[in-house]
């Protein structure tokens, strides 16, 4: 199965105060046939979450390294689509669905990859459902 992960969903795997057993179970139950996709912005977002978590003593350096290694082991595939046609589609989706450009990027990727979207963002999930995208439900 194809999956698109957003930052909110991914962060619930490792942030102590946002930890979700259901998110942990999702990652623990992935099969070899599952493919995880993220847009390029995910790496900026997740890295920023790690930086801020360490600065605010929510995680220590060793925990940050473990999270980074975990993401490496998961074999996450980064979508590098870019350019004017891509930007126009992100703009269209963001306006149509009342999303940020960042969230529209996750939605666009899920649509293009015919993937299930894994997010904790209710507005993004609603937009996905209204666009015919299957969402991961808890």
Q: Give the tens place of pLDDT for each residue, 63-106.
A: 999 999 999 999 999 999 999 999 999 999 999 999 999 999 99
Cα gap 29→45, rounded to integer Å: 24
CATH superfamily to which 2-130 belongs: 5'-nuclease (3.40.50.1010)
Q: Give the tens place of pLDDT for each residue, 10-69.
A: 999 999 999 999 999 999 999 999 999 999 999 999 999 999 999 999 999 999 999 999
Chain centroid offset of residue 40 CA: 10
Query: Which residues pair with residue 14 across a beta bridge?
Result: none
115, 4 contact by CB (below 8 A):
yes
Cα gap 108→99, rounded to integer Å: 11
Domain ranges of the chain: 2-130
Q: Give the tens place of pLDDT for each residue, 110-121.
A: 999 999 999 999
């Amino acid at each position: 199965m194809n999956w698109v992960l957003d930052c909110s969903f991914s962060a619930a795997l490792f942030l102590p105060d946002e930890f979700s057993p259901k998110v942990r179970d999702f990652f623990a139950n992935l099969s070899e046939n599952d493919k995880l996709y993220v847009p390029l912005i995910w790496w900026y977002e997740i890295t920023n979450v790690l930086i801020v978590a360490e600065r605010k003593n929510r995680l220590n350096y060793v925990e940050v390294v473990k999270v980074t290694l975990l993401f490496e082991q998961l074999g996450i595939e980064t979508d590098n689509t870019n350019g004017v046609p891509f930007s126009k589609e992100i703009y269209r989706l963001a306006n149509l669905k009342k999303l940020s450009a960042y969230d529209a990027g996750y939605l666009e990727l899920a649509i293009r990859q015919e993937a299930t979207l894994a997010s904790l963002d209710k507005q993004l999930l609603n937009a996905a459902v209204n666009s015919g995208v299957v969402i991961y439900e808890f």
